[in-house]
Structure 1
């Protein structure tokens, strides 16, 4: 048999194993509210090829490819357990099992590693939590996709309504079409139908009421059967507590803003300060996409090396706030054609760091350039450290942070030598460390951080909403602190 034959035979074996993983992953998710992960990447609703690619990705971080032949026994062991709602990382289980020298079987080790989610220890499945989207633009539609994707168990977040201003004939049909097709993020994964008579979009079985209103004060959500909902404001029209309080109408319990909050509105970056949200806090912000991109790696660097000062330069994709062609704009430079120019502009991300990382004493400055790409940006974080380090040391540290730390859902890591911005469209991390571009010279470190300023940020928003709604379930095995 030739090498090519060996490779193809091996592929077919792994393909068959991945196929057999899908019903086990689906059943755990639907029936027990268990989300199966692989090095923090969800395997729920993934295709055979996606599962295999996710396993192969592990070599970029862990130094070696992870095979489905290694993870399948752990999945089978999980399927035999009495599990409660949780997230369980097969990659972590396999990695920790290799390092364990007690001679336990896979079944014994797995049962011990996830003991907090089994039997008498497991938490009860919670009632679904209603969610309302106020606005349905770029972020609103991506958040909608994520909420629909995560509704498989029926016990998590449930998108009940979208509030928009009326747009004329066939408004709901056009909005459903924008949810169904996206020029950057591709086709919606599932089916979408529209009932114009009842102003309802049905996406993967989720009935989503489209409510037309010009102002929050015009809506009583209880009329639509909505109770104790979390409203996500995607418009950015109101950013202070007084303005956002307009949303606290009958049926709405909390308001989450997808833009930097002003005044005393808490700016929350999931993974960094989400655990500071007070249970009775009704209004909070998810900060900006750039703040979410820089704060987790900034925290990681400060924890290990100390940061004395820093500057962030963001090279940011253009947005709907800019003009396609030169035209009047209230802001300087943004009136010039976005797809034809690099545009110097301001960023509030640096000043927002203080809200998310109040213990960081370093002064962080920032600036930004908008460039002619429609999605994915890069933040260049230039840091003066409290002690000297080597490039290899920082490289290995950040790789480990992305793999095993509490920030692994926020920080990703790539060693791809020819990585470019479009490679990171659809990334679910807040930022991705580009290992090849990393520079360290004594006490100076320069990090290049890619981030999908649309989708990665939307994932961070959903994580915050899950946390404040009480449906963010614990992850096993526990990561190192």
Structure 2
């Protein structure tokens, strides 16, 4: 699979780290990296990462080339991706965060790539795909959204639960680490609460996952509400889900059935250990269910808690979704 990374920020760099960690690089060939930042800065930020730690090998970025672990990857600084030649590229991993309009999202196609996968929600996408929830809806769409990290954590769990016991209504709270959308010190943003220093307070806010669930799982449309609390940690987030079942189950029956189903679902994980958030750093699952935190009240109300590395797990799903897209017959 030949991919191009457009935007070498948090997700773009994490994707490349994962490719380098795969046996034989998972048959993934990085054809090109495009980012407008200076090349030496890109190389430095790729080698030394405050969240995931430094890479164990040298990285150089000069002469329009990123060299790492014996690989030489063309490095461009084009503001308009459509001006590049991407002939032979199966999927553009669109990680700039700006592909919200159709003309921007289509730039990879105009450059000659077969398809584009956007690393976030986008109204320009033909379809939003979440592995473990609705990958069958991919079809022949050429501009695809990989949804959000929280949607990737929540949707496979909801799909599994709805099949197990039925969901009447549910409320999700994501306890989310701070991100670049928040200032480090108080500074104006569109939302007043999110204008406060991200590393200093817990900040109640909204989550795009609530709206995306209606799109990804239309059978549950209108039944799922949600909110977020941004917390002063740098990585790993959590989902706290409370829902009402259609079918009554005991704690023991529910716990065993859920554990078995989770372990059979490739994008989900399970732990019976009393873990804390830092224990989940660099876990590739979309969500890791915390068994000790799962319980039922009055036969029909259940609470499930799970962890997700919102960068590492999401980047793993970007590669998985790209592989599905690349395996399709050329249109």
Per-residue deviation at 1:295?
Answer: 0.8
Structure 2 distance, partners of 1:290, 1:368, is 10
**SS in structure 2 opposite 1:176?**
helix
Match of 1:212 in 2: 77
- Identify unmatched segments of 5+ residues in structure 2: none
Structure 1 residues 429 and 135: CA distance shift in structure 2, 3 A: same
Q: TM-score, normalised by structure 1?
A: 0.65
Match of 2:183 in 1: 323
1:418-464, CA deviations, whole angstroms, 9 ceiling, x for partnerless residues? x1111101111000111111121111111111111110111111110
Match of 2:41 in 1: 174
**Alignment counterpart, residue 99 of structure 2, candidates 238, 256, 281:** 238
Structure 1 distance, partners of 2:311, 2:213, is 20
Per-residue deviation at 1:208?
Answer: 1.1
Residues 151 and 158 in structure 1, CA contact (< 8 A), matched pair in contact too = no
Residues 346 and 368 in structure 1, CA contact (< 8 A), matched pair in contact too = yes
**Alignment counterpart, residue 367 of structure 1, candidates 221, 227, 247:** 227
Structure 1 distance, partners of 2:164, 2:61, is 55
Match of 1:420 in 2: 276
Note if 1:221 corresponds to 2:78: no
Structure 2 distance, partners of 1:396, 1:362, is 29
Residues 159 and 206 in structure 1, CA contact (< 8 A), matched pair in contact too = no
Structure 1 residues 151 and 470: CA distance shift in structure 2, 3 A: farther
Structure 1 residues 391 and 182: CA distance shift in structure 2, 3 A: same
Structure 1 residues 195 and 448: CA distance shift in structure 2, 3 A: closer
Runs of 4+ in 1 over 3 A off after TM superposition: 240-243
Q: Which has the higher contact order (CA 8 A, sep 6+)?
A: 2
- Identify unmatched segments of 5+ residues in structure 1: 1-128, 472-481
Note if 1:156 corresponds to 2:27: yes
Structure 1 distance, partners of 2:269, 2:90, is 32
When Rg is computed on C-alpha atoms for both structures, the one with the higher figure is 1
Structure 1 distance, partners of 2:101, 2:40, is 33
Residues 99 and 124 in structure 2, CA contact (< 8 A), matched pair in contact too = no
Q: TM-score, normalised by structure 2?
A: 0.93
Structure 2 distance, partners of 1:132, 1:312, is 34
Match of 1:452 in 2: 309
Structure 2 distance, partners of 1:307, 1:330, is 34
Larger helix percent: 1
Counterparts of residues 317-356 of structure 1 (less than 5 Å): 317-356=177-216
1:90-149, CA deviations, whole angstroms, 9 ceiling, x for partnerless residues? xxxxxxxxxxxxxxxxxxxxxxxxxxxxxxxxxxxxxxx221111111111001112233
Number of corresponding residues: 327
**Alignment counterpart, residue 269 of structure 1, candidates 124, 130, 143:** 130
Note if 1:134 corresponds to 2:6: yes
Residues 121 and 148 in structure 2, CA contact (< 8 A), matched pair in contact too = yes
Structure 2 distance, partners of 1:215, 1:250, is 10
Structure 1 distance, partners of 2:243, 2:169, is 6
Structure 1 distance, partners of 2:249, 2:62, is 62
Residues 401 and 411 in structure 1, CA contact (< 8 A), matched pair in contact too = no
Counterparts of residues 279-318 of structure 1 (less than 5 Å): 280-318=140-178
Residues 118 and 146 in structure 2, CA contact (< 8 A), matched pair in contact too = yes
Match of 1:18 in 2: none
**SS in structure 2 opposite 1:330?**
coil
Structure 1 residues 342 and 295: CA distance shift in structure 2, 3 A: same
CA RMSD of aligned residues (A): 1.9
Match of 1:196 in 2: 62
Match of 1:23 in 2: none
Match of 1:107 in 2: none
Match of 1:145 in 2: 17
